A = this chain, B = another copy of it.
Amino acid sequence: MRHSLDIASLIAARKPGYTLPAQFHLSEEIFDLDVRLIFGCHWIYVGVEPEIPEPGDFFTVEIGPDSIIIVRDDDLAVRAFHNVCRHRGLRLRPPGHGIVGNLVCPYHQWTYNLRGELIHCKNMGEEFDRSQIRLKPVHVESLAGLLFICLTEAPSQGFDALRAALEPYIAPHDVRNTKVAFQKDILEEGNWKLTMENNRECYHCAANHPELTVPLLEPGFGYAPSPDNLAQMKEFEDAVTREHARWEGCGLPSAEIDRLEDVTGFRTIRLPIARSGESQTIDTKIACRKLLGELPRADLGGLSVWTQPNSWHHFMSDHIVTFSVLPVTAHRTLLRTRWLVHKDAQQGVDYDLDRLTSVWLATNAQDSSLVERTQQGVSSAAYQPGPYSPFTEGPVDKFTRWYLRRLAAGLGLHP
């Protein structure tokens, strides 16, 4: 692959603490690299185990031009395969989810079992060695019920460390005993990195998210003490200290872990919720009467988890909201959001769907508009990288640095 852009110079040209040069959001060539080196070589969050509880249950994930099938095998293991028949290349299953016995290609009925093995095909003759052919496997791991895939043969290191660190935090919310109450896909008209940058700060929250800022306390989402906010930060940090002591007393790990700079980068912290302290709802009260796992009470704040390069999650006592960012083209991104509740909770009895989803449906729509307008702005010849706020946009800068370092590594460039 020859590059008409000089990517190394573009990477080197990035001014520390400033937004990315425009080409990173516009170039088809860099988009192809993003798909191949970022999404192709790192652990990508794609969904949750409760979507595929039974053998034969599957769903697909589309990443740029690629499609992957995530399926539960008869032995209850979760497996993942490229959604491409090994005969004529047909996409085996259209986007979505369903139930299968085997994976049968509709074109010529080549049939694969749920381990990806070609178990049946007609007219290929006696010399044809079926055992040499199988669906191309994709690495898949479950982190306490959250499913991550890695497309490369030798997956990037660090998933074990991520699991060891995060499992104690997430486990009490018992993801495996939830169900998907609602899923919403939004196509955002911007590069996937603008969607991620938008997620990694709350500087924009007060003016743009009237619903979200009812439960959310912005300082927890990337704020650092500054001369302007010393009193506000002190108050917030006192609240965190107080609540962490209470939550840890309930057996809930709460302290911040920030390993966003790792190859398999992540961050977590349990954060206070405003007012009643219960949930990310419009009145801060739980949206589902049936609490998750064995959680003892409703007012447990929200455990937030962020992973590089494509996810974030909020775990409350009553429900979980979990987000997956999937690149479509250089200027289009899928944001897939799932709301999880206890698997035995009944809609209309234990929870009302509108109440459960209204805050994040509104917030996603607001962010989608901001991402679209940022894409428009960075498309202009007049755009030049601007300065991040050192007090509210530190995690954005960390995302940007992580991205450039991983891109450089994938290209074999010296850091």
Contact = CB atoms under 8 A, between A and B. Distances in A.
A227 interface: yes
B65 A380 contact: yes
A414 interface: no
A107 B204 contact: yes
Majority secondary structure of chain A interface residues (helix, strand, loop or mixed): loop
Interface string A65-108: 11100000000000000111111111110100000000000111
Interface string A224-236: 0011110000000
A88 B19 contact: yes
Interface string A371-385: 001101111111111
Contacts of A22: 89
B380 A90 contact: no
Contact of A377 (B84, B203, B207, B374): B84
A304 B192 CA distance: 49
Interface residues of A, number: 61
What is the count of identical protomers in the complex?
A: 3
A204 to B, nearest CB: 5
A227 B374 contact: no
Contact of A88 (B86, B91, B109, B386): B386
Given A106-B373, A208-B106, A370-B107, A382 B66 contact: yes
Contacts of A390: 124-125
Interface in A29-70: 35-36, 40, 65-67
B123 A226 contact: yes
B89 A207 contact: no
A312 to B, nearest CB: 19
Contact of A65 (B65, B108, B379, B391): B379
B381 A40 contact: yes
B377 A85 contact: yes
Contacts of A373: 90-91, 94, 106-107
Nearest to A87: B386
Interface in A360-411: 370, 373-374, 376-387, 389-392
Contacts of A227: 125-126
Interface in A270-298: none
A136 interface: yes
Contacts of A67: 376, 380
B389 A124 contact: yes
A373 B94 CA distance: 8
Interface string A213-243: 0000000000000111100000000000000
Contacts of A65: 379-381
A152 to B, nearest CB: 11
Nearest to A390: B125
A22 to B, nearest CB: 8
Contact of A82 (B40, B382, B391): B382
In this complex, which of A85, A92, A136, A373 has the most chain B Cβ atoms within 10 angstroms of its Cβ? A373
Interface of A: 2, 4, 19, 22, 35-36, 40, 65-67, 82-92, 94, 106-109, 122-126, 128, 136, 197, 203-204, 207-208, 226-229, 370, 373-374, 376-387, 389-392
15 contacts: A2-B4, A4-B4, A35-B381, A65-B379, A83-B380, A86-B386, A89-B386, A90-B370, A90-B377, A92-B377, A107-B370, A108-B203, A123-B226, A123-B389, A123-B392
